[in-house]
Structure 1
Amino acid sequence: MTELSGGQKTQQRRALSLDLARGSMLFLIITAHVPLFLYAMEPGVITKAAPGNVMDEVINFLMEIMVDNRARPLFAILFGYGLVMIYRKQSIRKGENEAKRIIRRRCWYLILFGAVLAGVAGGQDILMTYGIAGLILSGSLRKSNRKIIKRIIISTVVCLIYLPVLWGGVLLGIGDYGLPIAYTGNETYFGNLIGQLISIPVVPLFTHLFFPIIPSVYMGIWMGNKELLIRPHEHVSLLKRLTVWGLTISILGAIPLVLINDIWFPELFPAGIVYGVHMMSGLFAGIGYAGLFGLMGIVVQHRGTVVDAIAAMGKRSLTFFIMHECLIVITMSPAFFNLGAHLNVSTAAILAAVIWTVTLAVAYLMEKKHMAGPLEKLMRNLTYKPQ
């Protein structure tokens, strides 16, 4: 076997760190989104269903500690990181102005993909949200990391000030710890369609207002500028600090929410503030998870089948994100197989794992056959004009 050169090893680490992060991120997202369809169960805290047994309680605990408000920041960080990679590559090839136009064009198409997902398929969309974030922050790709850090601090402080208060008002307004259930069991696809289409412009604006999207995308830009996942072997100490401190702060910030409605029963407004704190601490989970996958790209020396499969899904993350959301709707929605009326928290988690595992096998086969993700291929064709 021919020994890899230093450049080839760097490229291998780059693919492994980034693609492991993206593939694993999709697991976190699908486990977060499947329970949103458990409309036959009593509402628990915020979007959680009330547990019906001990295993449900364990799953809810793990979700609030590791997944809820934690998968989204990781997605945003990887999105911001990807913007930096595209911008640098296209700046070298075509100049900074054209690189910026390519970024914006890509973001507009991302918004279009998200609109189809939310409006036509009825999936839980975050593509429109990040497309808008990319349009807003594309000018920041030219900024130095010192300026990016300032913007991270400012945007985080702004969110920390208003989001807990905003969510306190939300819970006070609805009069319960849990958000209203979105389904009745009588929905049909065409009955939902008009409402879904009307919601297209509302969904991303709501998400930007109620969740700290901009700070986490800025964090991804900062990480991309430092090439933490492309050259993780050069930043081991920093990646370790980001992982340890990020995940520690995330866990500590999640504990108060875990206690609500089990051993602690605060008034509704303070409960909403606790949820806001849970959400803001999730920013650190995003950084911690990204740092962890950077370290994994260094530590994993021999790529077995599982690692290859997760990396293969990560390379095709747009395709598999949309596939997952469509499969969730098909299996869980009252308009289709209606499993949302029959599953509990535990069995919903099993379904999420099954969907991810089956599609992981599909991704692995696509990699073995050298097949690009169809939506990645479409996005490239739309984004890059013929030469």
Structure 2
Amino acid sequence: MSTPVLTAPAALPVAERSLAPDLARGAMLLLIAVAHAHMYLSYDDAGFRGYALDGAPLDRLVAGVQILFVDGRALPMFAALFGYGLARLTARRPDPAEARRVVRRRGLLLLAFGFAHALLLFFGDILAAYGIVALLFAGMLRRGDRALLRAAALTIPLHVLVLALLGLATVTGGHAPSPTVIADPLEAVGMRLAVWSAMTPTFFLVSALPTFFLGVWAGRRRVLDDPAAHRPFLRRVAVAGIAIGVLGGLPLTAVDLGVWAPADGVSIGAYALHSVAGIAAGAGYAALAGLFAARTSPPGRVARALAACGQRSLTCYVLQSVAFTVIFTPFVLGLGDDVGDAAASGIAVAVWLSTVLVAVALERAGSRGPLESLLRRLTYGR
């Protein structure tokens, strides 16, 4: 029996996309930028989240803000939006077998893109983890609500276990230097791939799973496609999720800033709690983006710019890594040896704004991002 040919009409035209998911992706890329920039810096010693312990007061202040509001929050938000997008993709295809083929093909391509990203640019790639999620759980996209919510709940203990083991490794062995500070380009490639291959199936994958399933659940209800109709629900998720994220992040923030020095076991527990609370915060941030979209009808200039960036999130995400590699690594400009966490975050904001401007220029030219075009071409054919 022949395999059905996947054709281009399966790709959703840009004009038919909903505002809120794209706006959320655009804002999420800011969180990703500031979460990644400090990973390019050299340091003598670092805390659980990789911030230098000997930074200037402003550096420590910025580190504390980011630990509390950014670190471990952007990745779950991305996972929720990824699950939401796959749920909508599946809903547009009445043939379940075809839907699974499309999702798994996209997952395989994201895995390949992630490998290339880690090989050439950044060890902290998250594309491959989402590719693995799509490959493993394409069949879950048509399961019942109870199965999705059960899967989300059951993956949280796995998340805690992995984070506890990573925390134990940090306590016993210290925070390993970032591969981005290696001066030899070939040695840096090997180290990037080694760290990426270890982190992708563990930390990145288990961090994505709970909110991925919640995103699929929300996608079935089109919560972000019509956020005005779901405003009370979105408000509850935003308030509760962000509050849990802040409260659950306070202990680790105190530990990493040196304000609190508990026993190692308590520190590891604070590290795991911070990450689990980030699951709630990621969902809360996605809901907050939906509320913002519901208030901007028709969308203003800022909302349109964020949505343009979100529509080209793959291209903008990789452009961030290109910029950081040029700016920070020792074999290009080498600023990773000279700046602290505060300056790195300022640079990250500037880089993100630059990608937004690129996305707006592509929008005005009527063009998708180049990586989005490549992904769609490889997924659906001409």
1:235 Cα offset (Å)? 1.2
Where does residue 307 of structure 1 map in the other structure? 303
Which has the higher mean CA deviation after the structures are superposed, 195-204 or 80-89?
195-204
1:334 Cα offset (Å)? 1.5
**CA displacement, residues 85-108 of structure 1 (integer Å, 9 cap, x when unaligned):** 11111x23xx11011101000100
Q: Does 1:64 align with 2:67?
A: yes
Structure 1 pair 257/282, CA: closer, same or farther in 2 (3 Å)? same
Name the SS for the 2:319 alignment partner.
Answer: helix
Is the 1:331–1:337 Cα contact (8 Å) retained in structure 2?
A: yes
Q: Does 1:364 align with 2:360?
A: yes
Where does residue 283 of structure 1 map in the other structure? 279
Where does residue 170 of structure 1 map in the other structure? 169
Is the 2:164–2:271 Cα contact (8 Å) retained in structure 1?
A: no
Structure 1 counterpart of 2:149, which letter? I
Is the 2:125–2:196 Cα contact (8 Å) retained in structure 1?
A: no
Structure 1 pair 29/372, CA: closer, same or farther in 2 (3 Å)? same
Where does residue 125 of structure 1 map in the other structure? 125
Following the alignment from structure 1 to structure 2, what is the Cα–Cα distance between the partners of residues 65 and 144? 34
1:66 Cα offset (Å)? 0.8
**CA displacement, residues 33-81 of structure 1 (integer Å, 9 cap, x when unaligned):** 0001111454234311225333222211210111000011001111111
Is the 1:172–1:269 Cα contact (8 Å) retained in structure 2?
A: no
**CA displacement, residues 220-248 of structure 1 (integer Å, 9 cap, x when unaligned):** 11111121111212211111110111111
1:146 Cα offset (Å)? 2.1
- 1:90-105 matches, cutoff 5 A: 91-92=93-94, 95-105=95-105
1:333 Cα offset (Å)? 1.3
Name the SS for the 1:235 alignment partner.
Answer: helix
Name the SS for the 2:190 alignment partner.
Answer: helix
Where does residue 316 of structure 1 map in the other structure? 312
Where does residue 294 of structure 1 map in the other structure? 290
Where does residue 31 of structure 1 map in the other structure? 34
Following the alignment from structure 1 to structure 2, what is the Cα–Cα distance between the partners of residues 314 and 275? 30
Name the SS for the 1:266 alignment partner.
Answer: coil
Name the SS for the 2:320 alignment partner.
Answer: helix
- Find 1:47's aligned residue among 45, 50, 54: 50
1:313 Cα offset (Å)? 0.5
Following the alignment from structure 1 to structure 2, what is the Cα–Cα distance between the partners of residues 119 and 74? 25
1:156 Cα offset (Å)? 1.8
1:168 Cα offset (Å)? 4.1
Where does residue 244 of structure 1 map in the other structure? 239
Where does residue 6 of structure 1 map in the other structure? none
Is the 1:123–1:326 Cα contact (8 Å) retained in structure 2?
A: no
Give the TM-score, by structure 1 length.
0.89
Structure 1 pair 149/356, CA: closer, same or farther in 2 (3 Å)? same
Where does residue 8 of structure 1 map in the other structure? none
1:308 Cα offset (Å)? 1.6
Structure 2 counterpart of 1:254, which letter? G
- 1:332-343 matches, cutoff 5 A: 332-343=328-339
Structure 1 pair 122/262, CA: closer, same or farther in 2 (3 Å)? closer
- 1:73-222 matches, cutoff 5 A: 73-89=76-92, 91-92=93-94, 95-160=95-160, 162-174=161-173, 176=174, 179-182=175-178, 185=181, 187-197=183-193, 201-208=197-204, 211-222=206-217
Structure 2 counterpart of 1:143, which letter? R
Structure 1 pair 37/379, CA: closer, same or farther in 2 (3 Å)? same
Following the alignment from structure 2 to structure 1, what is the Cα–Cα distance between the partners of residues 180 and 328? 13
**CA displacement, residues 1-51 of structure 1 (integer Å, 9 cap, x when unaligned):** xxxxxxxxxx99963211110001110001000001111454234311225
Where does residue 374 of structure 1 map in the other structure? 370
Q: Structure 1 runs of 4+ off > 3 angstroms?
A: 11-14, 183-186, 194-203
- Find 1:223's aligned residue among 213, 218, 230: 218
1:199 Cα offset (Å)? 5.3
Following the alignment from structure 2 to structure 1, what is the Cα–Cα distance between the partners of residues 37 and 242? 24
Name the SS for the 2:18 alignment partner.
Answer: helix
Following the alignment from structure 2 to structure 1, what is the Cα–Cα distance between the partners of residues 99 and 16? 25
Give the TM-score, by structure 2 length.
0.90
Percent identity reads: 31
Extract unaligned runs of 5+ from structure 2.
1-13
Is the 1:120–1:197 Cα contact (8 Å) retained in structure 2?
A: no
